Amino acid sequence: MSKVTIYTTPSCVYCKMTKEFFKENNVQYEEKDVSQDAAARDEMIAKSNQMGVPVIDVDGQLTVGFDKERLSQLLNIK
């Protein structure tokens, strides 16, 4: 199983869509709320060089925003 981390904020619509996609496909993930966790925010910025959410890390491969096609590919979801 892939190691999946999603950097989010509570008001982010695309974060909610990504988490719903994960739920529908039984993807286990760790969520980091960058609005509350400064260390997670710094980690996200260091990895992605930007401040928009969601940032999704699948085994070291980053996706910025909800890109269903790319996430399906990275997670081997048909």
Tell whether the model's pLDDT for residue 1 goes beyond 90: no
- Token duo for residue 73: 């590919």
15-32 pLDDT per residue, tens: 999 999 999 999 999 999
Sheet containing 61-64: order of strands: 30-33, 4-8, 55-58, 61-64
Q: Among 7, 78, 6, which residue's Cα sits nearest to residue 41?
A: 7
Q: pLDDT-derived band of residue 60, with 50, 70 and 90 as boundaries?
A: very high
Task: Select 4-74's CATH number: 3.40.30.10, 3.30.365.10, 3.40.50.1000, 3.60.10.10.
Answer: 3.40.30.10
Other Cβ atoms less than 10 A from the Cβ of 39: the count is: 9
Per-domain residue ranges of the chain: 4-74
For the whole prediction, is pTM greater than 0.75? yes
The CA-atom distances, in angstroms, between 34 and each of 4, 9, 17, 40, 44 are 16, 6, 17, 6, 8
